Amino acid sequence: MQGVYLRCSVEQGSFPQFRWFLNGSRLEDRGTFYSLGWSDHAHLSLALGRESDGFYRCEATDNFDNSSSISSTTFRISHEGTSMESRSVAYGTAFSGSGIDVVKFVKQPQTVLRLLSWLFSIVVFASITAECFVNSPNEAQARCVFNRNDSACNYAVTVGVLSFLICLAFLLADGAFPFISNVLTQRHIATADLGLSGLWTFLWFVCFCLLSDQWSRTSDVRGIPTDAVNAVVAFSFFSIASWAALTYLALVKFHQGVEEVTRKFTDAPPDVTAPYPNTYTPPIYPSFQNVPSTYPSFQEHTPDLYQQPPFSQNSDTSAQSSFPKPVY
């Protein structure tokens, strides 16, 4: 059986925790996959087979608080061939270092919707500022054509201009995603995209309802360019649809990034404040207080060879010394 050996390392920084992912799901050690980790790199060994087919990537994370992380380029491994295809994906976009394909970027649904929203906003605020402020024969000051309510025109212009700027900002952010190496920065951009898209969907809905209501109450339409008014109302409605679609794509992108990149550890950390259980039981030793001794008394049965009565007359002089006399 053939196998593949992958190595993941970081050149600088402190990222002692390494995690491997297959098709967005975190890998665990089992029969087909086996990983080893060190302080600055990690290894993944896998056996080629249908179970191992897919897109692999490595993620280095701060071991203490997950405050920073780095993701590697994603590689496609297939048991049908020895070549590996690189694909870098995080939050629906390319990882750092993969470059930008302009044609593919322009054809993305999110890019198309941003360009349409950008165009719709131009039509709205340009039509209002150019043709929707007119003055009647009896007044010298130009007034808004929507029931002579200047607040309605000012609101539509404000929403349109801000929509124009937001579309440009997120178009640049989408193009800069391949050069952003920090996953948390990508997450912040995805969160801002989701929040602003939802907010502007609501603001365009309010704008459409306000302009439609004020135009229906306009009684005198003499000298009013009705084509410009109809364009403003129509493109306000189109903006609701485009921003709602952007909100949906941003939500899908956010959930995809949360599942693939910022997945938390499933094992709960140990509770360091809980006391350790008392599992040690001291051994029970037998008591020797009332056990009679089986050894004989040394003083009762053994004569003292070193103690002699004083002034003994029958002492053997030869026994006083055990050393033989030297012979010359």
Sole residue written with tokens 């001794």: 293
Q: What is the per-residue pLDDT for 278?
A: 52
CA distance 315 to 325: 19
Q: What is the pLDDT of residue 103?
A: 84
Is residue 281 predicted with pLDDT exceeding 60?
A: no
Planar angle of CA 186, 172, 260, nearest 5 degrees: 25
Give the residue extent of every domain in the chain: 3-86, 102-259
DSSP state of 93: B
Residue 7 predicted with pLDDT over 90: no
Which pTM was predicted?
0.54
Of residues 2 and 301, which shows the higher confidence score? 2
Contact between 200 and 243 (Cβ < 8 Å): yes
- pLDDT at 285 > cutoff 80: no
User: Range with the lowest mean pLDDT among 32-36, 138-142, 241-245, 284-288?
Assistant: 284-288
pLDDT of residue 262: 44
Q: Where are the beta strands (DSSP E) in the chain?
A: 3-9, 17-22, 25-26, 33-37, 41-47, 54-61, 69-71, 75-77, 84-86, 133-134, 143-144
pLDDT tens digits, one per residue of 69-119: 566 666 666 655 444 444 445 555 544 444 567 888 888 899 999 999 999
Range from 133-137, 183-187, 192-196, 312-316 carrying the lowest mean pLDDT: 312-316
pLDDT at 264 over 70: no
CB contact at 8 A, 186 and 95: no
Angle between helix 109-131 and 150-176 (nearest 10): 150
**Cα–Cα distance for residue pair 254/92, rounded to 1 Å:** 9
C-beta atoms surrounding 319 within 10 Å = 7
Across residues 288-317, what is the average pLDDT?
Answer: 52
Whole-angstrom distance, CA of residue 112 vs CA of residue 124: 19
The partner residues of 19 in beta bridges, in order of sequence, read 59
Fold of 3-86: Immunoglobulin-like (2.60.40)
Is pLDDT of 3 > 60? yes
Cα–Cα distance measured from residue 72 to residue 58, given in angstroms and rounded to the nearest whole number? 5
